[in-house]
A = this chain, B = another copy of it.
Amino acid sequence: MLRSRGLTALARRAHATAAAAGASVKPGAASVAAKYYPHEPKGPHIVTETIPGPRSVQLNKHLGEVFDNRAAYFVTDYRNSVGNYISDADGNQLLDVYCQISSIPLGYNNPALLEAASSPEMASALVNRPALACFPQDDYAKILEEGILAAAPPGMSKVWTALSGSCANETAYKAAFMYQAAKARGKMDFTDEELQSVMLNKTPGASDRTILSFEKGFHGRLFGSLSTTRSKALHKMDIPAFDWPVAPFPELKYPLKDHIRENAAEEERCLARFEEIIESHPPGKIAAIIVEPVQSEGGDNHASAEYFQDLRRITRKHDILMIVDEVQTGVGASGKFWAHEHWNLQDPPDMVTFSKKFQAAGFYFSDPELQPSQPYRQFNTWCGDPSKAIIARAIYQEVTKNNLVERTAATGGYLYKELEVIAGKYPHKMQNLRGENFGTFIAWDCESPTHRNELLLKMRGAGVNIGGCGERSVRLRPSLVFEPTHANVLLNALEHVMKQ
């Protein structure tokens, strides 16, 4: 569908690809995508004049009568989607570097995942869905240990499972609130005043403690998580919210190497303000902070490892829990299994939440005091879903077996360098390229929201499904089987669109 091609760039890229692939591949190992997907398309295949095409439009109209789908890009044919390529209802096949808002870990119709999904164990998990905390299945410990817990971040040994990123964060908040209340209460029982007031949603039974979040952070859409979400007004408008505090998150300037002193000062400013906010509250009032390793919905905002080390130091100093939200950053895309491993913390976070690419959701922790004093407090009917834990295990095992985290780091390294070249050619169209040495977790800014939205649309026309974030950013969120050859398809399409 690309009508013109940058042949010099293509030739150079073919060479660079081979080098990048060589760097990331162990002797004897070949493309993992080719192993999984012998019939993966070699490139996009576009058959309609516009995307969405006529059949997508028609199907979406029908669906829209019963379900709110006004955000739809196109209607998808998942049966014919394969590997890094997503098919729409009109037969268009697009390279997918958005992957269901960063939630497809190993490509479409991954054979290893299909095997797990087709197993009798899965069928049983689906039809005999347990209330896990009351009637746990005899192999739930094993499923967790071989999957979700085997993947646990350094220093984390326990998990509470949930169903979505929002409820992973909210159950982590609940753990934080109960932890701080128990610490303040000591060994005493609940008082009569607490027992009575809580039924009226009033203190002291209901807590007036808070969760501190960061400007432009995104942690979900339910009432507690939305109160910590600070990404966009549209995400929050008209919904009641807790009056919880917010701190600034650094706004770094790019290229990083040209703004070292300025960026260090910005992080310093934000850390000082962060500690000031904490100190303006009574001790114990802020139960926890929640922070993303990269603020994703809010515009792919990064900060340095040193900044996060200081956050950890300050939270420890003031006895505030640190929750790291790895819902979008987790499971390998950053070039580490968990993005916060880039920080080299000496002292791990108190809780790390996950969802999206892991399909299962929940939070990791280590301190047994983060389990509340009695059963039935951190509780709900399902307390997770073994069918998702089985998928998470298969994902973890495939990622490990195929070194997909290391491969993603290598592919990301190659991709970043090539994007730098394009950004150099189109400095106005492609600003603030970021995500170096951060796997494929790469983003840049467009001149304006309008330009960004146009770019996303044109990229779809050029055969690449790509997503935005923040006001004017483009974010790359391919799966972990996105390799240098796929990167070239993206780069060629991007260069083609940039030229227009």
A: residues with CB less than 8 A from B are 59-60, 62-63, 65-79, 81, 86, 89, 100-101, 103-104, 108-110, 113-114, 117-118, 120, 122-138, 140-141, 144-145, 149, 157-161, 163-167, 170, 173-174, 177-178, 181-182, 190, 194-195, 198-202, 205-210, 215, 220-225, 227, 230, 233-244, 246, 355-356, 359, 371-372, 374-382, 387, 391
In the bound complex, how far is the Cα of B381 from the Cα of A376, in angstroms?
Answer: 28
Residue of B130, B233, B359 near A199 (CB, 8 A) is B233
B164 touches A377 (CB 8 A): no
When C-beta atoms are compared, the residue in chain B nearest to A123 turns out to be B117
B127 touches A381 (CB 8 A): no
In the bound complex, how far is the Cα of B240 from the Cα of A376, in angstroms?
Answer: 17
In the bound complex, how far is the Cα of B196 from the Cα of A246, in angstroms?
Answer: 14
Residues of B within 8 Å of A157, CB to CB, are 66
Give min CB distance, A164 to chain B, whole Å: 5
- Asked whether A137 and B75 contact (CB < 8 A) given A81-B128, A201-B241, A237-B190, the answer is yes
Residues of B within 8 Å of A200, CB to CB, are 246
In the bound complex, how far is the Cα of B205 from the Cα of A227, in angstroms?
Answer: 12
B237 touches A134 (CB 8 A): no
Residues of B within 8 Å of A133, CB to CB, are 68-72
10 pairs of A and B residues whose beta carbons are closest in the complex: A223-B224, A70-B375, A201-B241, A181-B238, A117-B126, A117-B123, A113-B127, A71-B375, A78-B128, A63-B141
Most B Cβ at <10 Å: residue of A159, A201, A377:
A201
B381 touches A101 (CB 8 A): yes
Residue of B124, B174, B201, B208 near A242 (CB, 8 A) is B201
Give min CB distance, A138 to chain B, whole Å: 5
Residues of B within 8 Å of A239, CB to CB, are 174, 177-178, 206-207
A206 touches B241 (CB 8 A): yes
Give min CB distance, A342 to chain B, whole Å: 23
A122 touches B117 (CB 8 A): yes
- Asked whether A167 and B167 contact (CB < 8 A) given A118-B123, A379-B71, A381-B103, the answer is yes
Contacts A/B (CB < 8 Å), 13 sampled: A65-B141, A67-B132, A72-B136, A104-B129, A113-B126, A117-B127, A166-B167, A198-B241, A201-B241, A201-B246, A206-B239, A206-B241, A222-B224
A103 touches B131 (CB 8 A): yes
A76 touches B117 (CB 8 A): no
When C-beta atoms are compared, the residue in chain B nearest to A208 turns out to be B240
In the bound complex, how far is the Cα of B101 from the Cα of A235, in angstroms?
Answer: 33
Give min CB distance, A15 to chain B, whole Å: 34
In the bound complex, how far is the Cα of B233 from the Cα of A295, in angstroms?
Answer: 36
Give min CB distance, A439 to chain B, whole Å: 20
Residue of B68, B163, B378, B391 near A68 (CB, 8 A) is B378
Residues of B within 8 Å of A209, CB to CB, are 240
Residues of B within 8 Å of A236, CB to CB, are 198-199, 201, 205-206
Give min CB distance, A328 to chain B, whole Å: 9
B77 touches A138 (CB 8 A): yes
Give min CB distance, A198 to chain B, whole Å: 5
B145 touches A66 (CB 8 A): yes
In the bound complex, how far is the Cα of B128 from the Cα of A140, in angstroms?
Answer: 24
Give min CB distance, A160 to chain B, whole Å: 6
In the bound complex, how far is the Cα of B100 from the Cα of A127, in angstroms?
Answer: 12
Residue of B77, B170, B210 near A223 (CB, 8 A) is B170
